Amino acid sequence: MTEVKREVFGQMPQEEGGGVVEKFILKSDSVKVEILSLGCIIAALEMKGRDGKFSDVVLGFDTLEGYTRKHPFFGAVVGRVANRIAKGRFTMEGKEYQLFLNNGPNSLHGGAKGFDKVLWTPQVLSNGVCFFRLSPDGEEGYPGDLKVWVTYTLSGRELAINYRAQTSKTTPINLTNHAYFNLSGQGSQDIYDHEISIDADSYLPVDDTKIPTGEVATVQGTGFDLRQPVELGKHLQKFHLDGFDHNFCLQQAETRHLVARARHPPTGRAMEVHTTQPGIQFYTGNNLDGSLKGKGSVTYPKHSAFCLETQNWPDAVNKPHFPNTLLQPGEEYNHTTWLVFSAA
84 is in an annotated binding site: yes
CA distances (Å), origin 129, targets 24, 34, 42, 46, 334? 7, 11, 12, 17, 17
Whether 257 sits among the annotated catalytic residues: the reply is: no
Which of 109, 178, 194, 335 is flagged as catalytic? 178
What distance in Å separates the CA atoms of residue 256 and residue 223, rounded to the nearest whole number?
Answer: 27
Phi then psi for residue 22, to 5 deg, are -105, 155
Q: How many CB atoms lie within 10 A of CB 30?
A: 17
Q: Are the C-beta atoms of 60 and 86 separated by less than 8 Å?
A: no
Which of 34, 46, 272, 309 is flagged as catalytic? 309
180 is in an annotated binding site: yes
β-partners of residue 167 are: 146
Among 129, 170, 171, 168, smallest CA distance to 149 is for: 129
Whether 254 sits among the annotated catalytic residues: the reply is: no
At residue 296, the 3 state secondary structure works out as helix
264 is in an annotated binding site: no
H/E stretch holding 329: none
245 is in an annotated binding site: yes
182 is in an annotated binding site: no
User: Position 30: which residue type?
Assistant: S
Query: What residue numbers does the annotated binding site cover?
Result: 83-84, 178-180, 245
Query: What residue numbers does the annotated binding site for beta-D-galactose cover?
Result: 83-84, 178-180, 245
Q: Which residues are catalytic?
A: 178, 309
